[in-house]
């Protein structure tokens, strides 16, 4: 009898969690596009509901990381954006540089001016390191499918930054991180 009562209590608790999960999905902030791009004002590193006119509605988490790197002996700002959803992850890898020079005008006037140079790169290989395990995923056009094995590892990842490595179509390697907030959000994105 006690086992039966405990079983019913367990089922009630599971049912309650299912209701909370459904209500939570409704209460999430809504983003109107799954597009990645510089200058977007979206909630970063938290679960959101995405209502995209091309891809439909789904739950995901946007992440971004900025850092400086040396590319061809030049210091360049690198921005790595990603959108993690149940089925796939998509990346935008952008390098930003400034070209500054001095110019002279007639009558001895000189001017210093700079122009911003932005370039995006297509990512074809993704490596995700969780604890001591490295997951390698091949993709196309900076998009990678999430296998059930990878989804489980993402859901169970320790709540800390996660190292990733991106390999571009021309063989360039970029090491970056996924922030702790996004890693915490994975727990709800990759729940069965």
- Domain enclosing residue 114, as ranges: 30-189
158, part of any domain: yes
Among 105-114, 158-167, 169-178, whose mean pLDDT is lowest?
Answer: 105-114
137, part of any domain: yes
Helices (H), 87-179: 148-155
16, part of any domain: no
β-bridge partners, 178:
162
65, part of any domain: yes
**In the block, residue with structure tokens 């990346």:** 91
Q: How much of the chain exceeds pLDDT 90, in percent? A: 62
Neighbours of 157 (CB within 10 A): 21
Q: Considering its fold, how many domains does the chain have in total?
A: 1
Kindly report the pTM of this predicted structure.
Answer: 0.77
Closest C-alpha to 87, from 190, 3, 11: 190
22-56 pLDDT, tens digit per residue, is 335 568 999 999 999 988 899 999 999 999 999 99
């Amino acid at each position: 009898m006690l086992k039966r009562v405990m079983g019913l209590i367990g089922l009630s608790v599971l049912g309650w969690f299912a209701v909370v999960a459904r209500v939570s999905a409704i209460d999430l902030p809504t983003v109107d596009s799954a597009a990645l791009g510089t200058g977007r004002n979206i909630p970063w590193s938290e679960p959101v509901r995405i209502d995209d006119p091309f891809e439909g509605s789904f739950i995901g988490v946007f992440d971004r990381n900025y850092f400086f790197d040396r590319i061809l002996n030049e210091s360049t700002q690198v921005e790595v954006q990603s959108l993690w959803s149940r089925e796939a992850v998509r990346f935008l890898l952008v390098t930003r540089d400034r070209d500054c020079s001095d110019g002279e005008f007639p009558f001895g006037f000189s001017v210093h001016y700079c122009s911003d140079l932005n370039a995006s790169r297509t990512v074809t290989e993704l490596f995700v390191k969780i604890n001591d395990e490295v997951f390698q995923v091949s993709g196309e056009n900076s998009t990678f499918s999430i296998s059930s094995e990878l989804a489980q590892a993402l859901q169970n990842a320790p709540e800390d930054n996660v190292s990733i490595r991106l390999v571009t179509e021309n063989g360039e390697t970029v090491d970056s991180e996924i922030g702790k907030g996004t890693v915490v959000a994975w727990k709800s994105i990759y729940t069965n």
